[in-house]
Every structure is written in structure tokens, then in C-alpha cells.
Amino acid sequence: MPNHLYDHLFAPHAGSSKTLFTRAGQPDLSYDDALRMAAQLAHVLVSHGVQAGDRVVVQAPKTVEMVALYIATVQTGAVFLPLNTAYTRDEVAYFVGDAAPRLLVCDPNRAEELTTIAGDATLLTLAADGSGSLTADLAAQPTRFDTVDRGPGNLAGLLYTSGTTGRSKGAMMSHDNLLSNARSLVDLWQITADDRLIHALPIFHTHGLFVALNTTLMVGAQVYFMPGFDLDAMLSELPRSTLMMGVPTFYTRLLSDERLTADLCANMRLFISGSAPLLAETHEAFTARTGHRILERYGMTETNMITSNPYTGDRRAGTVGLPLPGVEVLVCDDTGTLVPQGEIGMVEVRGPNVFQGYWQMPEKTAAEKRANGFFMTGDLGQMSEDGYLTIVGRAKDLIITGGYNVYPKEIEDILNDIPGVLESAVFGIPDPDFGETILAAIVPDAASNLTDDTLATQVASKLARFKHPRRYIRMDALPRNTMGKVQKNVLRDQHA
């Protein structure tokens, strides 16, 4: 049966003995190996009752089996819902409750803890070595699977992204949202079967899953697949590779090591950065050291990639480049009216890349998508005369730490519930490694003897480690403007 994403991204590689994944200390995996594994996993999914439209939640270590599970989910017509491995039980409980999945796949180490929140979902396991109840019976499964009929508008992915209200919303990504974006990026970045990508990003977000894998798999490129970012491993793979996609932290960490030289990068064709602002000085330092001009691009979970600096042409440091072909980008005021060229406004976007809406939240979707189809990103931008977009700030209250997004409201809600806290304000300050790091200003009740340990323990019981404030600052009152709104810019300036 026709399956829009599978047919165009994966099916053409059936039978190909070309190496897809190379990994440290593990055998290579060919395209055909991966597709046979995906077909077997599709049979496993179906044996557990997975049907078209069902959600498959995965919070598991980064493995080739997890990539095959993504492909298998697409084949069965189900919806892939990957989760950050750092999420706590409470966080996973929210996603499972909201998405009501048929399956919940997790690390065996966490199975006991997550059984209690699985609800109606069947719980299966997948470990860092690929073992677990998901794959236990794989060899017995057929290596071919007849894909379930799915058209361009059907859902392929559901990716949760924190909302300004503090609770995450599931961004519904259709087969064509993903396919059209992958096609544009392959074209724009001139990715071919001769490329070898260093893959060190997590595969539970758009960047590592869709941007990095959909593009390289589409053209039949090779992928050096790392379980996570490892500076030594990356440096040793650079001479054998042609392509790297990373968050700015990857680049500052590479630059902090003297082994990074132009010679080491002589075989590299392209370095791409995104998910957080790349400082112009990082861009320039990287060029000075390696001769390569990092190509910065800009996107969002809800929209996939929106703009990119050009492959041939001027890669302008500090800008996120030009709108992708077929994607319209406007810089507007609050009413959606264009601001005069060169002035700062809200970035709005429309195109085949833009998501289908928030899962079971039509009112949230309507609040962020205009009637004319433009999606309001919450980013503040400025468009140059020749069409280059610069992200100058955010209208949304968001901290980006090491490429992970953290919405202060989610942390403030937890802090405010702790006895002895009158109010709190969470904000980001510049950090040389993660770009931004999280601080919390607390107004304690004078009568309480609240310790930092109490605050940290409460936060730790609920939120993933990367969301924890690295410091608590006590204040008599939060700085507020005449409207009574907390002035986070004042806090940032005071504590940067």
C-alpha cells in the first residue's frame, strides 16, 4: 500500500548492501539490514495491536534499533513519539496521559518505575545494547512488511514542545511535513550518497531525528552513529567524514580542543549548526581555525526547518539565512502586519513544513496559527534588504541550554508550590558551554527556613536534570514594571 514517507525516504534502499550505520566497537549495518530490522519491528508492533493512527511512545537509549523502530512505526501507519531520556517519571506520565499511546517503549532500567504510569499502553523495553522485550523475538519475524496506506496529510510524528503555559503540547507532524522539509534540505545542503555524517545528536528531537536522519537516509549516505556527544570520538571521526550537524555547544567544545585543526577537517564538506543561537565569534573562530564557514539554520519543532544560510553564497555569521524554498517568512507586529523592512518584529512562517496543529488542543493551535495559515514562532527577528533573517530575541519566555528548550513557567510552578516560597522567577544567563544556564530568583516567606537543598530536591523529584536551576537567589521582592510584570531582563542583567 502507498505510504508517503516510507515510499520516498526508505523504500528505495531495500536490497541495498551499502553501509548505513557505522558505530564504535559494533558491526556496520547496511541499508538492507536496517530495513529488514524495521520490517521485523513493524510485525512486532502489529502483534501488540498497533494500528494506523496509534501513538508509539519511545523513551530509550540512542540505538540503531530505535531508528528502525521509527521506520517501523511509519510503516504501520502509527505515530512516532520520542521522549528525552532525561525526563522523570512525572514528565513521562504527562506525555503518556496526553497522547494515550498503544505502546510505551523504555529502557529496561526504568521499566519498573514506568509500569505504574503506562495506563492502557503495553510496556516494552529497549536497552542501550539493542536488547529488551521489543527485540527479543525479532529473528522469528518476517523481514518484509506490507506498509499501511498513509497519505501526505496523515500523521507520522508527535513531538512534544513546551508551551508558554508551562505544559507541553504535542506538535502533530504529517508525512509531508517531514518529507517536504527533508527534500528541501537535501537540495539546499547538496547532501548525496557520497556523504558521511557524524551523528552525535539525540534522536528524540527534530534536529537529530528528522533533520539529520531523514536527509541522509533519503539519499543513501553513510552515518557514523554515536550514542551521544563525545569530543574525542568526534575529533577522531572528522578526517573520515564529510558532514556534521550540531548545536552550538558542539562547536564551542570542538574549539576548546587544540586538536581541532584545518588538517583534521580537510575531508569535511559541511558543518551545520542550529537549535540555538550560534555566536558570531564562534562562527569566526571556527573559520579561523578550520577554514570552514559553519552553515547556520533556524527551525522549530512545529515547523521543521524554516531558514538556512546558503551552501554556495554568503554564509553570514549571526544570521540564520534565507527562507527555505516554498517557505514564506514574515516579520510582523502583534496584529500580523508586516513591520517596515529592517525593523524588529515577530517571525511568522507558512509552508508545507508547518505542523498540523497541537494534539487535541484546537484552541492552542488557533491561538498560535493565524487564519491565513501563518504560524507565530514567538521569535523576534529582523529581515535584511536581501532577505537574510537574524533572530534578535524571543517574545516567548524560553531558555535554551545546550540546545534543549526550557520554559521557566514549568519550573516556577513547581517552586511556587513549595511551602515557604512566596514567588519565584526563573531566567537564563549566558553560559560559555551551554549557551544559557538556568537561575531561579526566590522570594521566601520570612518565617520559613527554606534551604537550597529543599528547593533542589523538590525540583529534582519532578523535572529532568537539564531543567534544574544551577543557583537559587533569594530576594525580598522580584523586580516588576509598572504593569506588575516581572522584569526578567533586570534579573538577567543583575546576575549575568
Instruction: Please choose which of ligand AMP, ligand MCA, none residue 161 contacts, taking the beta carbon within 5 to 8 angstroms, the exact cut-off set by kind.
Output: ligand AMP
**How many other β-carbons are positioned within 10 Å of the β-carbon of residue 90?**
13
- Residue 323 as a binder of ligand AMP (CB under 6 A): the answer is no
Q: Contact at 8 Å (CB) between 77 and 3?
A: yes
Half-sphere exposure (Cβ direction) of 494: Cα atoms closer than 13 Å: 14
CA distance 18 to 23: 15
Instruction: Please choose which of ligand MCA, ligand AMP, none residue 311 contacts, taking the beta carbon within 5 to 8 angstroms, the exact cut-off set by kind.
Output: none
Helix %, strand %, coil % of the chain (to 5):
30, 25, 40
Q: 469, 448, 451: which is closest to 460 by C-alpha?
A: 469
- Residue 210 as a binder of ligand AMP (CB under 6 A): the answer is no
Q: Where do contacts with ligand MCA occur on this chain (CB under 6 A)?
A: 201-202, 205-208, 228-229, 247, 249, 274-275, 299-301, 401-404, 434, 465-466
Question: Cβ 347 to ligand AMP, closest distance in Å?
Answer: 8
Instruction: Please choose which of ligand MCA, ligand AMP, none residue 210 contacts, taking the beta carbon within 5 to 8 angstroms, the exact cut-off set by kind.
Output: none
Residue matched to cell numbers 524554498? 325
Question: Cβ 377 to ligand AMP, closest distance in Å?
Answer: 5
Q: Contact at 8 Å (CB) between 410 and 467?
A: yes
Nearer to ligand AMP (CB atom), residue 94 or residue 264 = 94
String of contacts with ligand AMP for each residue 365-384, x by CB under 6 A: ------------x-x-----
**Site residues (CB under 6 A) for ligand AMP, limited to 149-188:** 161
End-to-end distance of the chain based on CA atoms, in angstroms? 57
- Residue 320 as a binder of ligand AMP (CB under 6 A): the answer is yes
String of contacts with ligand AMP for each residue 390-429, x by CB under 6 A: -x--x-----x----x------------------------
Instruction: Please choose which of ligand MCA, ligand AMP, none residue 61 contacts, taking the beta carbon within 5 to 8 angstroms, the exact cut-off set by kind.
Output: none
The C-alpha cell that represents 5 in the structure block: 514517507
Nearer to ligand MCA (CB atom), residue 219 or residue 226 = 226
H-type helices in 159-260, by residue range? 175-189, 206, 215-219, 231-237, 248-255
Nearer to ligand MCA (CB atom), residue 44 or residue 66 = 66
Three-state DSSP at 296 gives strand
Q: Contact at 8 Å (CB) between 289 and 262?
A: yes
**How many other β-carbons are positioned within 10 Å of the β-carbon of residue 367?**
14
Query: Does an H or E element contain 459, and which?
Result: helix 452-462
CA distance 168 to 159: 9
Query: Does an H or E element contain 169, and which?
Result: strand 168-174
| Burial track 172-203 (b if 16+ CB lie within 10 A, e otherwise) | bbbbbbbbbbbbbbbebbebeeebbbbbbbbb
- In the bound state, the residue with its beta carbon closest to ligand MCA is 402
Nearer to ligand MCA (CB atom), residue 118 or residue 245 = 245
* Strand ranges (E), 73-140: 79-82, 103-106, 122-125
String of contacts with ligand AMP for each residue 262-281, x by CB under 6 A: ------------xxxx----
Question: Cβ 433 to ligand MCA, closest distance in Å?
Answer: 8
Instruction: Please choose which of ligand AMP, ligand MCA, none residue 404 contacts, taking the beta carbon within 5 to 8 angstroms, the exact cut-off set by kind.
Output: ligand MCA
Nearer to ligand AMP (CB atom), residue 38 or residue 155 = 155
Stretch in the footprint of ligand AMP (CB under 6 A) among 121-129, 260-268, 293-301, 475-483: 293-301
Question: Cβ 35 to ligand MCA, closest distance in Å?
Answer: 25
- Binding-site residue total for ligand AMP (CB under 6 A)? 17
- In the bound state, the residue with its beta carbon closest to ligand AMP is 301
Q: Contact at 8 Å (CB) between 218 and 48?
A: no
Question: Cβ 274 to ligand MCA, closest distance in Å?
Answer: 5
Nearer to ligand AMP (CB atom), residue 118 or residue 400 = 400
Nearer to ligand MCA (CB atom), residue 94 or residue 466 = 466
Residue matched to cell numbers 516579520? 331
Instruction: Please choose which of ligand MCA, ligand AMP, none residue 208 contacts, taking the beta carbon within 5 to 8 angstroms, the exact cut-off set by kind.
Output: ligand MCA
- Residue 212 as a binder of ligand AMP (CB under 6 A): the answer is no
Q: Contact at 8 Å (CB) between 284 and 318?
A: no
Among 80, 286, 298, 407, binds ligand AMP (CB under 6 A): 298
Instruction: Please choose which of ligand MCA, ligand AMP, none residue 394 contacts, taking the beta carbon within 5 to 8 angstroms, the exact cut-off set by kind.
Output: ligand AMP
CA distance 155 to 357: 11
Angle between helices 89-99 and 452-462 (to 10 degrees): 40
**How many other β-carbons are positioned within 10 Å of the β-carbon of residue 337?**
9
Binding residues for ligand AMP, rule: CB under 6 A, are: 161, 274-277, 296, 298-301, 320, 377, 379, 391, 394, 400, 405
